Amino acid sequence: MLIVEGRKFVLKPFDSEEELERVVVENAEYLFGPASIYFPKSLIATRDGTGTIPDGYVLDLARRVWYVVEAEISKHSVWSHIAPQVAKQIIAASNPVSKQSLVDIAADRVRNDPDLQERFADEGIHAIDIRRVLAEILAKEPIVAMPIDAVKDDLKEWAATLRIPVKLWIVRKYVEFGRPEIVMYEIPEEFGPIVDTAQNEEDSKIELARYGVTVADLIDADLLHAGQTLHMPYKPRNGEQRDYRATICEDGSIELLGKQFSSPSYAAVYGIQDAGSDRKTVNGWTAWRLENGENLASIREKYLSQE
């Protein structure tokens, strides 16, 4: 149960898979990260000429991977519903014609969308290299991305046996007690999946642990200290270069422009929006740097190596 100013919100199942799918489409950046591009449902022809309709595709420019997205509700059977559906989507995704179509669609979208151009620029991808990078990403095997309302043991067992890597994100629905028309949704923090078979077992544990590390953990490990200054250079489109400076607080929060934020990413978003950007997500772990130029992601890796 969630309580907001005395109002109670209770956990409720999604009304349908379509409802969950809509939430995923509207909040894709919060699931897949600020360097991701989401392609909504479209018809992809398979080798035998029939078709399958995945819920979407995602290209992650930061990690240089791509996802076949299948939003699911946990009441569906893993073996009679989820497994065969995902199998069809993997076959469709392996089709070179489908991959080339995604390259063409992505390139067209970037050409007409300044926000997407900014994402490529943030990852050091020049306009002349966009098609090449897209083709390199799509030449790899896809990862199955599954936002779902709950993860049961049989789903984990199936994911572990699949040849294609699988990532599972939990998305929950809450309704106000006595007023079911008032709805809120819970999205994972810092783009973190609850299950990730894309690595070997040891690497997977480290990857999942990475999502749970906080600035407070780094302070406790004497890798950062309260009062330390962070800076984030940012140049908005058609704007002047800015250098935002923030302070690490004793509780691990980050103070920027007189406000405190619980995570580096929230602070970074507030900064770039102050500069005039419309972007909703930023990877604060790579955006914020110490005075010596080292970013927080590097400090986090040092912390994980000590575990």
Q: Are 233 and 290 members of one domain? A: yes
CA distance 99 to 33: 22
Does the residue 204 lie in any domain? no
Domain count, the chain: 2
Does the residue 207 lie in any domain? no
The 3-state DSSP class for residue 189 equals: helix
Of the residues 198, 231, 246, the one at which a domain ends:
198
pLDDT confidence of residue 97: 84
Does the residue 91 lie in any domain? yes
Q: Are 126 and 169 members of one domain? A: yes
pLDDT confidence of residue 307: 61
| Domain encompassing residue 263 | 215-306
Q: Are 262 and 237 members of one domain? A: yes
CA distance 258 to 54: 44
Q: Are 241 and 136 members of one domain? A: no
CA distance 67 to 226: 39
Q: Are 66 and 132 members of one domain? A: yes
Q: Report how far apart, in Å, the C-alpha atoms of 63 and of each of 57, 133, 136 are.
A: 15, 12, 12
Does the residue 293 lie in any domain? yes
- Tokens coding 282: 């930023």
Q: Are 87 and 170 members of one domain? A: yes
Is-contact 295 288, C-beta < 8 A?
A: yes
Does the residue 185 lie in any domain? yes
Of the residues 198, 229, 246, the one at which a domain ends:
198
pLDDT confidence of residue 50: 46
Q: Are 23 and 142 members of one domain? A: yes
- Burial tier of 176 (Cβ tally within 10 Å: 0-12, 13-18, 19+): middle
Residue of 85, 136, 86 whose CA lies nearest to 106: 136
pLDDT confidence of residue 95: 83
Q: Are 16 and 138 members of one domain? A: yes
**Residue 82, amino acid:** I
pLDDT tens sequence for the chain (307 residues): 999 999 999 999 999 999 999 999 999 999 998 899 998 876 454 444 444 678 889 999 999 999 999 999 999 999 999 999 899 888 888 888 888 888 998 898 888 888 888 889 888 899 999 999 999 999 999 999 999 999 999 999 999 898 889 999 999 999 999 999 999 999 988 788 888 887 655 555 556 566 788 999 999 999 999 999 999 999 877 778 899 999 999 999 999 999 999 999 999 999 999 998 888 888 999 999 999 999 999 999 999 887 6
pLDDT confidence of residue 206: 55
Q: Are 12 and 40 members of one domain? A: yes
